[in-house]
Structure 1
Amino acid sequence: MDRAEIVHENFLRRVAAGDLPPGRSPAGPLEPARAVSLFRAGCLSRALDRQARAMQRAGHGFYTIGSSGHEGMAAVAAALRPTDMAFLHYRDAAFQIARADQVPGQTIAWDMLLSFASSAEDPISGGRHKVLGSKALMIPPQTSTIASHLPKAVGAAYAIGAARRHRPEHRVMPDDAIVMCSFGDASANHSTAQGAFNAAQWTAYQAIPMPLLFVCEDNGIGISTRTPRGWIAASFAHRPGLRYFACDGLDLYDTYRVACEAAEYVRSRRRPAFLHMRTVRLYGHAGADVPTTYLSREEVEAEEANDPLLHSVRLLHEAGVLEPAEALEIYRETCERVARIAEEAVTRPRLKTAREVMASLIPPPRPCAPTNGPSQEARAAAFGADLKAMEEPQIMSRLINWALTDLMLENREIVLMGEDVGRKGGVYGVTQRLIQRFGADRVIDTLLDEQSILGLAIGMAHNGFIPIPEIQFLAYLHNAEDQIRGEAATLPFFSNGQFANPMVVRIAGLGYQKGFGGHFHNDNSVAVLRDIPGLILACPSTGADAVGMLRECVRLAREENRVVVFLEPIALYPLRDLHEEKDGQWMCRYPAPGHRIALGEVGVHGSGGDIAIVTFGNGHYLSRQAQRRLRDAGVEARVIDLRWLSPLPEAALLRAVEGAKRILIVDETRRSGGVAEALMALFAEHGRAPVARLVAEDSFIATGPAYAATMPSADGIVQAALAMVEGAR
């Protein structure tokens, strides 16, 4: 008999015999009807755990991480409102069940069993994963990535106060809502979690509203690794800006009382709190985990003897609310009901095709009120003398600044955030004067933590904002990339399109910076971004393109709920000249408001048929230099600027190379994992004639005179193109 059945038989036997564990008497504000309701939620959670294991044994279920031992989370749900957004630990079925009891029309047992069965009718994920979550219950689904949901909980809590000052069109949470985020004691040690705690404290320390309740479910073990006794209390009881509460999760009355106190503190003070809840973990970590392989049988049995449901039976009896025999009948009836429902749930259809699985990678569009662009009066007040300067060609960084200004004038829900974006105006001056134009609550100087920056953006998107977070350098993304991959981009997929994190992530990156930075400030790797399904990756190469593409990126986020990364080539920010000093040919005039470059639209420069040079970013600049030199050598070339690196604009690209005798790909990313690999495959699959590539070496970038030694050059492009043309003669 496995541990789940042992716990089940122990419950039946001990309740029937009146052999209940000792403990404190029931005390607190939990009224009888609600107490019984919470016990029922715990029984349903337990029955679902057992049924999940039975379904797996029968080949009908596929995921068995359960909630047994954590049934006290039902009392936390009861202490909150159903309009309080909840980011749940994967052991919180009891929370979701109890919250469903607060919202009319829910069929929670049926819904969760459909999830266990991976049915396409599962109302949260559509059969893509066994996740907790519900649109109606204000519970966005979370995957299993450890602690990765904490940063966005911080952002969502911040967004409540921000929405009072600037109401987004698609606001979700009421002004007096709070956010609850739960996790295990082992997850509390993760760097992502520690960053989120610090960000919440850092914000609250400055008297900025942060209505966030952290709930740590402390069962004393992470898979097989023990949490040192007393560690969580010692770590969190005295943190500045974070109020500490503790409760016994085995005691429904104590948990409800303390959770009410903690929720009231957060709601009335608009400050974060940490609720430390003692729990036990029954069974193992998941269905395949056998706890007796790393714990003694005595230790396992001691935890089982502290079964929260046994404690609940005793407490309800002592409170005069429910006799043990009645509690036992509720438990039996719940198990039988779940088994009956499961028989039907396993017959429901499942996803079968790639098309069905991928249907929710891209979220559905949302209706948005029309915008007519910023008024002339608003533009005059914001731009001042810059309106006159718009009549003359300008460098890319200045044009991006103006584009951000117009976009923020037009869309009040746009919020910028990042390191140094406000008072300093950005490392390269791209966000200069935006804080003076729009205020510190729309141009947010964040703490120096990329996970917190992206988490802030994701959380604000949950409450209707259009965040534009800035990652200061592309290399800085790598310590936080899971916030994009594991959180923002996966949310539509795992919620069947019901939740989304629309945003435009601005990243300064790529190489060719002269005499600055080396590999940490010059990074030519974009593979991690192109590898994320559903993400749009844009890379402009001229100032005018940057404006038109940024406007399209904001439209994609606002109207189509998309996650977009806008990669700005640092080396092109200040460039003025193309061929000779002071020729000014790389500067552009500011496109009038309303001009956009659509997703998938490529740039074509020239019509030469001898060779088509396909490139992007700095490669476009170098290829345009090479284009004139090739013409002087009798070779007519056209230069095609990809603009959109993911998804590749395949149809437009194939049209753009039509009639060219040869194709040369110039790619400043690396030979392995670079953009050129996908382009080579595309042209080969469509039988396009001779294709070669000039790419960066598989190397980091050096500081000093060798800054460009590992990447394509104008000379190299000329040589490669001539070699292709002359080799064919």
Structure 2
Amino acid sequence: LHAEARRVPAAQAREAVFGSAAQLPERQPPRHLAIQINQALHDLLCKYPSSLLFGEDVAQKGGVYTVSKGLLKAFGPRRVFNTLLDETMILGMAQGLANLGMLPIPEIQYLAYLHNAADQLRGEACSLQFFSNDQYRNPMLVRIAGLGYQKGFGGHFHNDNSIAALRDIPGLVVGCASRGDDAAMMLRTLAALAQVDGRVAVFLEPIALYMTKDLHALGDGQWLFSYPAPDQALVLGEGRVYAAEANDLVIFTYGNGVPMSLRAARAIEAELGWQVRVVDLRWLVPLNAGFIAGQAADAQRVMVVDEGRHSAGVGEGVITALVEAGFGHLPLQRVCGADTYTPLAGAAMCVLPSDNAVTSAARVLAQDH
């Protein structure tokens, strides 16, 4: 599986797709998340001739956020095409195409649009291998733009932090990248899972991080990363650890929570003198309980920053993994979203985790312990 994830598309084909050897993405300056997902999709369609990318407005328009820009020109309308505005049809067609031996890469335009079609994954796509005893497979890599903090589009139809419906599906794999280089490597791994093992995979893309370039200050460029060479991929369940030696406080998080926690870590270190480790889970289903326990082994305190809702969020799974591994005695705080739909405009920030909420939770840990 990992060998397949690291398998490189033909050099000539890549150069034709990207324009020339000099224009290959790994030879370009560091880029933000949306561009690197776009580059990774070019690579995947180049690598897998049987792959098809489709969804609402993905072709001529290049997607709402330009993530699929240029794919139609590079691969043509037989492999990159628009669909009806119907998520049930998008995922149903993905199953049919997969049954015909294709590798579908459907896009669900917003996470909130998934819920009316979730049973296409739960009751149909993910159940086929199980109920056929692996006689039949319908592999696919479903891209879903979602989570909160998006500015410009208000309300719960465009800011949706409910991923409980995905966590509940047997056999599904869900990855969520917070930065561009991770996104490219995770897409390669998820595509390999589909191609080799026939898995149904979901790649959850944080809309609010698509265009993010800075981390601590305007213009610092610290959230721009170099495109990983095409032979680099991630092991399923492997997280990213920032400040691995720090153990005064270990923060487990993902998605938008990663840059948020890194900013808060700097404030916590300045105020409390703690050295803070930030752990980006990257893989949300299944959670890697062994990795989580390993990161907690030398921790003095633990925090879970989960932009999902208080009930049925990823944070519950992280805390369960910690308790079952024998770390229930550690001082713990959880920062998460409220059990509500995301309201309009600035009101959204009242129900989602924030930099200040993370820092405040650290102060509670300092007072209590």
Instruction: Find the counterpart in structure 2 of residue 467 from structure 1.
Output: 104
Match of 1:522 among 159, 169, 172: 159
Letter in 1 for 2:10: S
1:627 aligns with 2:262: no
Instruction: Find the counterpart in structure 2 of residue 708 from structure 1.
Output: 349
Distance 2:235 2:57 in 1: 30
User: How far has the Cα of 1:535 moved from its partner?
Assistant: 0.5
Instruction: Find the counterpart in structure 1 of residue 253 from structure 2.
Output: 615
Match of 1:682 among 318, 321, 329: 321
User: How far has the Cα of 1:435 moved from its partner?
Assistant: 0.5
Distance 1:597 1:725 in 2: 36
In 2, are the aligned partners of 1:514 and 1:707 still within 8 Å (CA)?
A: no
Instruction: Find the counterpart in structure 2 of residue 375 from structure 1.
Output: 10
> What is the alpha-carbon root mean square deviation over aligned residues?
1.7
Letter in 2 for 1:406: D
Identity %: 48
Match of 1:554 among 191, 199, 203: 191
Instruction: Find the counterpart in structure 1 of residue 80 from structure 2.
Output: 443
Distance 1:406 1:369 in 2: 14
1:594 aligns with 2:235: no
User: How far has the Cα of 1:374 moved from its partner?
Assistant: 2.2
Change (3 A) 1:388 1:442: closer
Q: How does 1:572-587 map to 2 (within 5 A)?
A: 572-587=209-224
Instruction: Find the counterpart in structure 1 of residue 46 from structure 2.
Output: 409
Q: How does 1:228-307 map to 2 (within 5 A)?
A: none
1:10-66: CA deviation from partner (whole Å, max 9, x where unpaired): xxxxxxxxxxxxxxxxxxxxxxxxxxxxxxxxxxxxxxxxxxxxxxxxxxxxxxxxx
Which one has the largest radius of gyration? 1
In 1, are the aligned partners of 2:6 and 2:232 still within 8 Å (CA)?
A: no
Change (3 A) 1:549 1:389: closer
In 1, are the aligned partners of 2:249 and 2:299 still within 8 Å (CA)?
A: yes
Instruction: Find the counterpart in structure 2 of residue 358 from structure 1.
Output: none
Distance 1:558 1:596 in 2: 15
User: How far has the Cα of 1:371 moved from its partner?
Assistant: 8.5
Distance 2:275 2:5 in 1: 45
Change (3 A) 1:388 1:711: closer
1:669 aligns with 2:304: no
User: How far has the Cα of 1:372 moved from its partner?
Assistant: 4.7
User: How far has the Cα of 1:676 moved from its partner?
Assistant: 1.2
Instruction: Find the counterpart in structure 2 of residue 640 from structure 1.
Output: 279
Change (3 A) 1:393 1:600: same
1:699 aligns with 2:340: yes
What secondary structure is seen at the aligned counterpart in 1 of 2:91?
helix
Change (3 A) 1:390 1:704: farther
Distance 1:685 1:654 in 2: 9
Change (3 A) 1:388 1:648: closer
In 2, are the aligned partners of 1:515 and 1:703 still within 8 Å (CA)?
A: no
Change (3 A) 1:592 1:389: closer
1:476 aligns with 2:110: no
Q: How does 1:325-336 map to 2 (within 5 A)?
A: none
1:391 aligns with 2:28: yes
1:722 aligns with 2:356: no
1:660-714: CA deviation from partner (whole Å, max 9, x where unpaired): 1111000000001111112222212222122221110011112212232201101
In 1, are the aligned partners of 2:292 and 2:321 still within 8 Å (CA)?
A: no
Distance 2:66 2:304 in 1: 32
1:423 aligns with 2:64: no
Distance 2:302 2:130 in 1: 36
Distance 1:470 1:386 in 2: 26
User: How far has the Cα of 1:375 moved from its partner?
Assistant: 2.9
In 2, are the aligned partners of 1:422 and 1:435 still within 8 Å (CA)?
A: yes
User: How far has the Cα of 1:482 moved from its partner?
Assistant: 0.9
What secondary structure is seen at the aligned counterpart in 1 of 2:317?
helix
User: How far has the Cα of 1:657 moved from its partner?
Assistant: 2.0
Distance 1:372 1:563 in 2: 20
1:268-302: CA deviation from partner (whole Å, max 9, x where unpaired): xxxxxxxxxxxxxxxxxxxxxxxxxxxxxxxxxxx
In 2, are the aligned partners of 1:506 and 1:567 still within 8 Å (CA)?
A: yes
In 2, are the aligned partners of 1:396 and 1:573 still within 8 Å (CA)?
A: yes
In 1, are the aligned partners of 2:26 and 2:226 still within 8 Å (CA)?
A: no
Q: How does 1:208-219 map to 2 (within 5 A)?
A: none
1:139-186: CA deviation from partner (whole Å, max 9, x where unpaired): xxxxxxxxxxxxxxxxxxxxxxxxxxxxxxxxxxxxxxxxxxxxxxxx
Letter in 2 for 1:682: A
1:603 aligns with 2:240: yes
Distance 2:286 2:4 in 1: 27
What secondary structure is seen at the aligned counterpart in 1 of 2:349?
coil
Distance 1:568 1:439 in 2: 24
Distance 1:372 1:699 in 2: 43
Distance 1:453 1:412 in 2: 20
Distance 1:683 1:654 in 2: 6
Distance 2:139 2:305 in 1: 31
Change (3 A) 1:472 1:370: closer
Distance 2:6 2:343 in 1: 46
User: How far has the Cα of 1:555 moved from its partner?
Assistant: 0.5
User: How far has the Cα of 1:518 moved from its partner?
Assistant: 1.1
What secondary structure is seen at the aligned counterpart in 1 of 2:364?
helix
Distance 1:396 1:440 in 2: 25
TM-score by length of 2: 0.95
TM-score by length of 1: 0.49
User: How far has the Cα of 1:719 moved from its partner?
Assistant: 1.2
Distance 1:704 1:578 in 2: 22
Distance 1:705 1:516 in 2: 11
Match of 2:289 among 647, 650, 670: 650
Instruction: Find the counterpart in structure 1 of residue 146 from structure 2.
Output: 509
Change (3 A) 1:369 1:665: closer
